[in-house]
């Protein structure tokens, strides 16, 4: 509990904390702007930022777009890896599986898509069974939940397969990339997942607003046709806000 002898930024942080705990600023809500807080507390912009950073360090708030802050939610979201390729689910919902999963959990999803043509890094080339430094089309998604950066998903495709197709354009594909590739004769019949945990690099930490000491859960999925691998997707999720779920059917002879 701050006292009048405490620095002003500590008093400001304490006042905001009380409102968060009491529910005056509920989970998922935006805090007042820095300008508003400056005026309300008679404080400088630097003092306000110090107070806000104190709450960030406590895990109570997180920065979002620009200089805004949001009260962090204590619940985590489930990323259902088993049905993330479910074409029927996308057709029924009219959106991709991730968007539908997030909406079913009472949250609001959004995403930004960028596309580039790059030389494949050694690990990607090995997984795609192509020559090192061969060209790949990369579709990168920065995904948001309730305007807060939540995860990234980078998908790599052999350039010779998807060049001059919608896959190489920075926009969503209504039927989904998997279905579109199937219509081209590259139907994916199986997937191999590798899941690990890594500490974020500086770019990832900034992009996803990852708090210090929080690792990323990284799933690398390779999609195969009957003949060859045609896609590598790397999904990175901060571990403090995501659960990776797999649904596995039991064999009849198991007891």
Please name the residues in contact with 120: beta carbons below 8 A apart, sequence gap of 6 or more: 128, 130, 132, 133, 134, 135, 136, 156
- 228-231 long-range contacts (CB < 8 A, ≥24 apart) are 228/129, 229/127, 229/128, 229/129, 230/128, 230/157, 230/158, 230/161, 230/181, 230/186, 230/188, 231/128, 231/155, 231/156, 231/157, 231/177, 231/181, 231/188
Per-residue confidence band for 45, with pLDDT thresholds at 50, 70 and 90: very high
- On average, the pLDDT of the chain sits at 88
Place of tokens 């090192």: 132
What number is the average pLDDT over the span 119-133?
A: 96
Nearest CA to 120 out of 130, 110, 112 is that of 130
Per-residue confidence band for 237, with pLDDT thresholds at 50, 70 and 90: very high
Contact of 102 with 108, CB cutoff 8 Å = yes
Pick the CATH number of 8-71 from 1.10.10.10, 3.30.565.10, 1.10.540.10, 1.10.1060.10: 1.10.10.10
pLDDT given at position 184: 93
| Domain extents in the chain | 8-71, 77-245
* E-strand stretches of the chain: 61-63, 69-71, 77-80, 109-119, 135-145, 148-158, 190-198, 216-224, 229-238, 242-245
What number is the average pLDDT over the span 101-119?
A: 92
- Identical topology for domains 8-71 and 77-245: no
What number is the average pLDDT over the span 26-43?
A: 91
What number is the average pLDDT over the span 27-40?
A: 91
Instruction: Report the CATH superfamily, name and number, of domain 77-245.
Output: Chorismate lyase-like (3.40.1410.10)
CA distance 96 to 184: 19
What number is the average pLDDT over the span 129-143?
A: 95
Contact of 218 with 208, CB cutoff 8 Å = no
What angle do helix axes 34-41 and 8-22 make, rounded to 10 degrees?
Answer: 110
This prediction's pTM: 0.73
* 97 pLDDT above the threshold of 90: no
Residue 115 tokens read as 């596309």
pLDDT given at position 70: 87
For the stretch 200-219, pLDDT in tens is 999 999 999 887 788 999 99
**Cα angle 210, 107, 90; round to 5:** 105
For the stretch 164-186, pLDDT in tens is 999 999 888 887 888 899 999 99
Instruction: Tell which wins on pLDDT, 93 or 179.
Output: 179
pLDDT given at position 122: 96
């Amino acid at each position: 509990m701050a006292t009048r002898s405490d620095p002003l930024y500590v008093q400001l942080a304490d006042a905001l904390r009380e409102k968060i705990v009491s529910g005056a600023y509920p989970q998922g809500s935006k805090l007042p702007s820095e300008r508003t807080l400056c005026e309300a507390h008679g404080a400088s912009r630097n003092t306000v930022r110090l107070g806000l950073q104190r709450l960030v360090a406590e895990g109570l708030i997180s920065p979002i777009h620009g200089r805004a802050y949001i009260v962090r939610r204590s619940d985590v979201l489930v990323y259902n890896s088993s049905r993330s390729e479910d074409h029927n689910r996308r057709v029924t919902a009219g959106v991709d599986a991730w968007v539908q999963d997030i909406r079913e959990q009472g949250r609001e999803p959004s995403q930004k898509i960028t596309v580039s043509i790059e030389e494949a890094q050694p690990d990607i080339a090995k997984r795609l069974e192509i020559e090192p430094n061969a060209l790949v089309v990369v579709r990168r998604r920065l995904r948001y939940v309730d305007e807060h950066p939540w995860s990234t998903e980078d998908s790599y495709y052999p350039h010779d397969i998807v060049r001059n197709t919608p896959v190489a354009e920075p926009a969503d594909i209504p039927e989904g990339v998997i279905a579109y590739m199937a219509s081209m004769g590259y139907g994916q019949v199986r997937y191999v997942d590798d899941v690990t945990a890594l500490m974020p690099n500086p770019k990832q930490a900034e992009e996803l607003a990852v708090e210090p000491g929080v690792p990323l859960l990284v799933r690398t999925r390779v999609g195969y046709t009957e003949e060859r691998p045609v896609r590598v997707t790397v999904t990175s999720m901060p571990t403090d806000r995501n659960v990776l779920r797999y649904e596995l059917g039991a064999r009849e002879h198991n007891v």
